[in-house]
């Protein structure tokens, strides 16, 4: 009886240790708070974030990243600018190093706004907090998909790699929203 009890305790201990390792080092659940990533992510959706992606690799353009905005709050935004790049938006068009870059995840929103109105107000990287000419090394420029209602690099400046928690991989709640994140 004691041996069977010990085996159960050992199995639970191993499971607990593995759960902690997965949670701390590999994946984390995150809940979307607010409208800044609409219509692609909605308030209350539950996501799985890969912490290992930015430990083993570099952030990539258009990743939906979670980062520590403050000591108490994490934000979810899309990575737009990478280190060394000059970023601007003019007439609702994204420019990276002077070249047009398409943002297909905004197509639906752009079609729903009245003619002559822009989804994203014009800006250049020099106008953002910090007054940088390019995205500094070890930093990224982030924007929310809901450009009218997002606290992002336009107001908080560049996000350092140290602030990055991970890349959002998929939605698991609500059930009708289960799927990979584009």
Residue of 51, 77, 150, 168 with catalytic role:
77
Q: Residues 6 or more apart from 126 whose CB is under 8 A from it? A: 132, 133
Pairing of strands 87-90, 93-96: antiparallel
Closest CA to 174 of 46, 43, 40, 41: 46
36 is catalytic: yes
112 is catalytic: no
Provide DSSP, 32-85.
Answer: --SSTTTTTS-TT-EEEEESHHHHHS---TT-EEEEESSSS-EEEEEEEE-TT-
Residue of 2, 3, 10, 36 with catalytic role:
36
Helix (H, G, I), strand (E, B) or coil at 174: coil
Catalytic site positions: 36, 77
């Amino acid at each position: 009886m004691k041996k069977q009890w010990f085996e159960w305790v050992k199995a639970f201990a191993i499971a607990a240790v593995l759960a902690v390792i997965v949670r701390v080092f590999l994946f984390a659940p995150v809940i979307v708070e607010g409208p800044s990533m609409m219509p692609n992510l909605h308030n209350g959706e539950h996501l799985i974030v890969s912490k290992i992606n930015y430990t083993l690799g570099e952030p990539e353009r258009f990743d939906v990243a979670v980062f520590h905005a403050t000591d108490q709050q994490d934000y979810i935004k899309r990575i737009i600018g990478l280190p060394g790049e000059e970023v601007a938006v003019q007439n609702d068009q994204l420019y990276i190093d002077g070249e047009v870059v398409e943002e297909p995840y905004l197509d639906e929103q752009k079609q729903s706004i009245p003619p002559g109105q822009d989804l994203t107000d014009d800006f250049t990287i020099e106008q953002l907090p910090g007054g940088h000419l390019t995205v500094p090394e070890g930093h990224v420029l982030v924007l929310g998909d809901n450009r009218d209602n997002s606290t992002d690099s336009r107001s908080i400046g560049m996000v350092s790699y140290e602030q990055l928690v991970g890349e959002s991989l998929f939605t698991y709640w609500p059930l009708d929203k289960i799927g990979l994140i584009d």
